[in-house]
A and B are shown apart, each in its own frame.
Chain A
Amino acid sequence: SAVISQKPSRDICQRGTSLTIQCQVDSQVTMMFWYRQQPGQSLTLIATANQGSEATYESGFVIDKFPISRPNLTFSTLTVSNMSPEDSSIYLCSVVYRSSGGNNEQFFGPGTRLTVL
C-alpha cells in the first residue's frame, strides 16, 4: 500500500490566520484528494489535485479559501485561508494507488486535526 504522511498532525490556530497542510506519499501517484471531516461527521471531498493541472473543487469549496499545490507526483499542500472556528476539522489527504493485488485502491493519510479559536 502507499504510505502517506501529513504535517502537521494537529494545530491550534487563531481566527483570520492561514495554515498550510503538507501531504507526502512514498510512491508516485497521479490522483490526490483532500477531504474534510468536521467533528462527528463524515468525510467530504474538498478537491481533486492532479499533478500538472489545476485542482478541481467540489461544490461549496473555492480556491481562494482552500488553495492547493501539486508540484510533483509525491507531494501536495492544502492551505486553509482566513480561518474561522467553522474550519475546525480533520483534513485528510488521499491517493489512488495500485496495490500489490494489482487493483487501484484509495488510501488515506493520518489526517491533520485543526482547531480554530
Chain B
Amino acid sequence: AQSVAQPEDQVNVAEGNPLTVKCTYSVSGNPYLFWYVQYPNRGLQFLLKYITGDNLVKGSYGFEAEFNKSQTSFHLKKPSALVSDSALYFCAVRVLSGGYNKLIFGAGTRLAVHP
C-alpha cells in the first residue's frame, strides 16, 4: 500500500537552532512529495514539493527538504528555527488512484520552537 510516515508526533527545538522534521514514504514508481504547514485555526499552506531533478528542494519561509531515494525519505529542514515556525507539518505523496491524482498525508508532526 502507498503511504507516508512521519515517525515523530512532536519535535522541540530552540529558536536559532536547525530543525528537521522527518518523513518516509512507500510508493510504487517515482514519488511526487509535498510538505504542507497548518497554523492554528488556519488551512493548510503549501511549503514545497519534489517532482524530479535536484534532490534538495527549497520552499517557502526558508524551509527546504532533501529527497533521498535510497532511504525513501523526504525530510523537512530549516537552518535556523523561528518561534513563528511553531505549527503542524504534514508530509504528503501524490498517487494515481481511480483515474485521479490524490494526496495521501502523513499523520503530521507538531513543531514547537522555544525562545
Residues on A facing B (Cβ under 8 Å): 1, 4, 31, 33, 41-45, 48, 56, 92, 94, 96, 103, 105-111
Contact = CB atoms under 8 A, between A and B. Distances in A.
A45 B101 CA distance: 12
A45 B98 CA distance: 13
A58 to B, nearest CB: 8
B103 A111 contact: no
B35 interface: no
A42 B106 contact: yes
A48 B102 contact: yes
How many chain B residues sit at the interface, stated as a range, is 20 to 34
A30 to B, nearest CB: 11
B108 A42 contact: yes
Given A42-B106, A42-B107, A43-B90, A31 B100 contact: yes
A101 B97 CA distance: 26
11 contacts: A41-B107, A42-B106, A43-B90, A43-B105, A48-B100, A56-B100, A92-B44, A106-B34, A106-B103, A108-B43, A108-B44
A43 B45 CA distance: 13
B88 to A, nearest CB: 10
Contacts of A48: 98, 100, 102
Nearest to B9: A40
Nearest to B45: A108
